[in-house]
Amino acid sequence: MSLSYAVASKARDYFQLMKFNLTFMVVFSCAWGYLLVPEVEFGLLKVLLLFAGGLLVSGSANTINQVLEKNTDKLMARTASRPLPAGRLSEREAALVAVLTGAGGIAIMGLCFNWLSAVLSLVSLILYGFVYTPWKKWNSLAVLVGAIPGAMPPLIGWAAGANHLGEGGWALFAIQFLWQFPHFWAIAWIAHQDYTRAGFKLLPAAGGPNKMTALQAVTYALLLIPAGIVPYLLKITGSISAIIAILAGIFFLYRAIMLYRKCDVPSARKLMFGSYIYLTIVQLALLADKA
């Protein structure tokens, strides 16, 4: 094996360990919250530092998740090839990665922005890595617990720009918090057999994927519609983004209603992809229409 191939293979394992594809979406939400702070103007260096800090903290949380779930990952088809269950990385090596990236990311947030954003980053890391991760085997409230660190990136970004937790930060937190329930339940619906095999309890209703789960997805999708216009009501963004948020919310709600009507995997998959479409459109619209 050539040295260049070995280095590339190791780098690929680290990227997979830190889930960089998922982490990028998280970090974008952080930058989104930062740039929506009224007194903040776009600065490339600041945004890059925010991306670096967010990538490291989120990567650390994802690494902790994989260390703690090494044995259950072996049981699921979609995770069995990850670096730890496949034996390409050791737990000690992964733990070292988690410590170094977590400490580095928190230091960037504290030294380059403020210590409020650093503390929130630490809280998010702990909640995701050490509370949400083991809770998944206890009961379905894990999704509620996990939605908190999942919704914290825009709040962290807001804190990084404003150095306080104002109404605007909490409004952005609320959008991402509500969004996660139909998003994640759609994923859990699709991967229900895999999750059951691993002992994860992630669907809100007993008996697996059913109309009660779909109805709860509809409820949260419905709540997203008024939540999406709160930034406009707070005068953070303009009226055009509020209209776009309403239309995107109706689209997302339609996808959730179709899952309720059909209760099948194809509808759950459409809801999952619809969730990505919703969040992307709303985030970009609010950013482009900043007051």
pTM, entire model = 0.92
Distance of CA 154 to the CA centre of its chain: 10
Question: Per residue of the chain (291 residues), what is the pLDDT tens digit?
Answer: 466 666 777 778 788 888 777 778 888 999 999 999 999 989 999 999 999 999 999 999 999 999 998 888 888 877 888 888 888 888 899 899 999 999 999 999 999 999 999 999 999 999 999 999 889 888 888 999 999 999 999 999 999 999 999 999 999 999 999 999 999 999 999 998 888 887 888 888 777 799 999 999 999 999 999 999 999 999 999 999 999 999 999 999 999 999 999 999 999 999 999 999 999 999 999 999 997
Per-residue pLDDT, 189: 95
pLDDT (0 to 100) of residue 148: 96
At the top level of CATH, the class of 6-137+153-162 is mainly alpha
Per-residue pLDDT at 4: 67
As a whole number of Å, the end-to-end CA separation of the chain is 56
- Distance from C-alpha of 271 to C-alpha of 277, rounded to nearest angstrom: 10
